[in-house]
């Protein structure tokens, strides 16, 4: 499952146009509507901690969990600069453990798409349900089969910057519904020479019906699903979907 090695060092550079602030506002508004304005919140698959930091700034007591030590190192560097009180744990989301329950769990930015089997999703959802307070909320997103099949497909993407560049070669397996992307990255070192490294990532697209059933099978209540781009009803061509679920009894 772990994919972020050297790529972790340049992740934030290439993700600098990611609308973390908009995502955070949506998360905060969703939690507020459900009466959660403070307390413990878990950011599952927190990566370099961009969302975790913003949620902590909003007054939530944040815990960040990620499997990649390289990503967490960067998250902890951000914590040192901001001075925010965030607990980071290096754990696989399929097996994570907390010291107690939390008011809400968020899992965003395609993190669940790295789980390639429905059993892995179910294991993760079961743990989320276990660590939620009574009536606690689980807000997550996922990329759809439509996005990988029709939008990304077998595409090649490249981006050239002064200090780093990348080539992203994408391959989609329709039979297994697995998306493979091979990254080749060039990073300028202190001697002005560029270091080249490669990484391969695998993600699986999911359907709303599948995720809804897995939420219920894990013991949670399905609350709603929204198109992540429009915040309106889910459509056949939705590329990313938000789901809100609620703990309803262990």
pLDDT in tens, 181-227: 898 988 888 777 888 888 898 999 999 999 999 999 999 999 999 99
Percent of the chain with pLDDT over 70: 94
Is residue 10 predicted with pLDDT exceeding 80?
A: no
β partners of residue 246: 137, 221
Which alpha helices (H) appear in the chain, and where do they start and end? 11-14, 20-33, 50-57, 69-82, 118-131, 145-146, 208-217
Is residue 58 predicted with pLDDT exceeding 90?
A: yes
Kindly indicate the confidence band of residue 1, based on its pLDDT and cuts at 50, 70 and 90.
very low
Greatest CA separation for the chain: 58
pLDDT in tens, 121-135: 999 999 999 999 999
CB-based burial, 39-52: b 16+ in 10 Å, e otherwise: ebbbbbbbbbbbbb
pLDDT in tens, 75-99: 999 999 999 999 999 999 999 999 9
CA–CA separation, 89 and 131 (whole Å): 15
Kindly indicate the confidence band of residue 160, based on its pLDDT and cuts at 50, 70 and 90.
confident
pTM of the model: 0.92
pLDDT in tens, 231-248: 999 999 999 999 999 999
pLDDT in tens, 162-179: 888 888 899 999 988 999
Is residue 13 predicted with pLDDT exceeding 90?
A: no
Strands 240-247 and 220-227: antiparallel
Is residue 8 predicted with pLDDT exceeding 70?
A: no
Mean pLDDT, the chain, as a whole number? 92
CA–CA separation, 24 and 41 (whole Å): 13
Sketch out the chain's domains with CATH numbers.
6-144+205-247 (3.40.50.150), 147-204 (2.20.25.110)
What is the mean pLDDT of the segment spanning 38-59?
A: 96
Per-residue model confidence (pLDDT) at position 188: 84
Is residue 4 predicted with pLDDT exceeding 80?
A: no
Per-residue model confidence (pLDDT) at position 12: 65
């Amino acid at each position: 499952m772990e994919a972020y090695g050297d790529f972790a060092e340049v992740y934030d550079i290439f993700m600098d146009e990611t609308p973390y602030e908009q995502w955070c506002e949506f998360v905060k508004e969703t939690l507020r509507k459900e009466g959660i304005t403070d307390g413990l919140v878990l950011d599952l698959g927190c990566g370099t901690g961009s969302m975790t930091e913003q949620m902590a700034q909003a007054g939530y007591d944040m815990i960040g969990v990620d499997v990649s030590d390289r990503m967490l190192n960067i998250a902890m560097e951000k914590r040192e600069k901001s001075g925010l009180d965030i607990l980071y744990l290096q754990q696989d989301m399929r097996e994570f453990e907390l010291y107690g329950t939390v008011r809400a769990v968020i899992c965003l930015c395609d993190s669940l798409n790295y789980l390639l089997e429905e059993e892995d999703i179910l294991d993760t959802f079961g743990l989320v349900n276990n660590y939620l307070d009574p009536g606690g909320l689980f807000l997550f997103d996922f990329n759809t089969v439509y996005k990988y099949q029709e939008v990304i497909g077998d595409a090649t993407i490249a981006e050239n910057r002064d200090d780093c560049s990348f080539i992203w070669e994408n391959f989609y397996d329709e039979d297994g519904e697995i998306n493979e992307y091979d990254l080749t990255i060039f990073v300028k070192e202190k001697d002005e020479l560029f270091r080249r490294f490669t990484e391969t990532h695998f993600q699986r697209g999911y359907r709303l019906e599948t995720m809804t059933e897995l939420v219920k099978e894990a013991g949670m209540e399905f609350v709603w699903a929204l198109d992540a781009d429009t915040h309106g009803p889910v459509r056949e061509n939705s590329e990313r979907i938000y789901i809100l679920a609620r703990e309803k009894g262990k």
